[in-house]
Structure 1
């Protein structure tokens, strides 16, 4: 079976691990991941951040490595039919890209076409910005997103830091510590089987 094409929606200061680990894991099994950001083109740099829980009341944030955008946003916007799934990475990026009408239109396309939607951490904020995407769904995300999930008509699932949750073709997780389970469930939804010999 040929690899699938996944559209990754990001913004500056998206969580580094949720970009790099996800992209490299998907590419390792033959899928293509296009990392896009509003108003950026292929070759542009995306700044990332690293988030951790270090005993404070909330997570800490540090500067991460730069990511090179590998697909021009406007090109992806005009080629949505070529993508099999959309992935909304977490971190700070979703806070501001969710208000972009073009990003909302992209998410709406995947929702209306009933294509897989993958979200981790704050990525759910992008989905919440589009009416109906999380309504009636059970969704995992960072705990701070619970009120938004509820207000959008979804049911927040308080997952452990290493769990992922599947509701139909939507896969969600709390944060980067769940990437192994999250990627495993995304692969299942995409129909990707890994056989050990």
Structure 2
């Protein structure tokens, strides 16, 4: 069984944690959900982000999500790909040098990488977006540009693929980005 590394953390977006984790398991991957400073059995708190007529999204408490693998036990060679949740967690996860080294490994080895929403902040901090076309939550677009990436302004329901990299602006794009991530992972789903 192929393994996927799933990076999340406290106050990651609820849907961007729960849905991809469950969908990747559904198609048969062993998904290791990790967070720096957490071990198997610990939980993270998620946040629900929604638009309620304000100039930006609102944040409500989400669910507790159980981490099923210890961050300190991650061996990047064991994984076929990595997925990165969005929400607020990436703004502090990108400060962890081991997180950045892990992400860099997936780019150096050309393994599949998926990131949604603010998860792209980790990619920018890892220095892996230079010369790449990708999307993100619009408020993260300037970070993509500053880091040398080519920000793609696409509908929130879509995904953008550039080689081994799949990105989407936010959780409404789950169906699109997960479908594209599965394709580059070599998964074929027949209906």
Please confirm whether the aligned pair reaches a TM-score higher than 0.5, indicating the same fold: yes
Question: CA RMSD for the aligned pairs?
Answer: 0.8
Corresponding position of 2:156: 161
The answer as to 2:180 corresponding to 1:175 is no
Q: Is contact 1:150-1:156 (8 Å) kept?
A: yes
CA distance in 1, matches of 2:177, 2:30: 17
Cα deviation per residue 1:146-165 (whole Å; 9 max; x = unaligned)?
11000110011111011011
Map 1:14-25 onto structure 2 (within 5 A). 14-25=12-23
1:188 is aligned, of 177, 183, 190, to 183
Map 1:17-36 onto structure 2 (within 5 A). 17-36=15-34
Q: Is contact 1:46-1:68 (8 Å) kept?
A: yes
Q: Is contact 1:161-1:178 (8 Å) kept?
A: yes
CA distance in 2, matches of 1:85, 1:69: 18
Q: Which stretches of structure 1, 4 residues or longer, exceed 2 Å deviation after superposition?
A: none
| SS of residue in 2 equivalent to 1:22 | helix
| SS of residue in 1 equivalent to 2:126 | coil
Q: Give ranges in structure 2 of 5+ residues lacking alignment.
A: none
Corresponding position of 2:133: 138
Corresponding position of 1:44: 42
Map 1:38-117 onto structure 2 (within 5 A). 38-76=36-74, 79-117=75-113
Q: How far 1:191 sits from its partner (Å)?
A: 0.7
CA distance in 2, matches of 1:9, 1:29: 19
Normalised by the size of structure 2, how large is the TM-score? 0.98
CA distance in 2, matches of 1:57, 1:187: 34
The answer as to 2:154 corresponding to 1:119 is no
Q: How far 1:6 sits from its partner (Å)?
A: 1.0
Q: Give ranges in structure 1 of 5+ residues lacking alignment.
A: none
CA distance in 1, matches of 2:84, 2:27: 20
Q: How far 1:4 sits from its partner (Å)?
A: 2.4
| SS of residue in 2 equivalent to 1:87 | strand
CA distance in 1, matches of 2:107, 2:177: 19
Aligned length in residues? 191
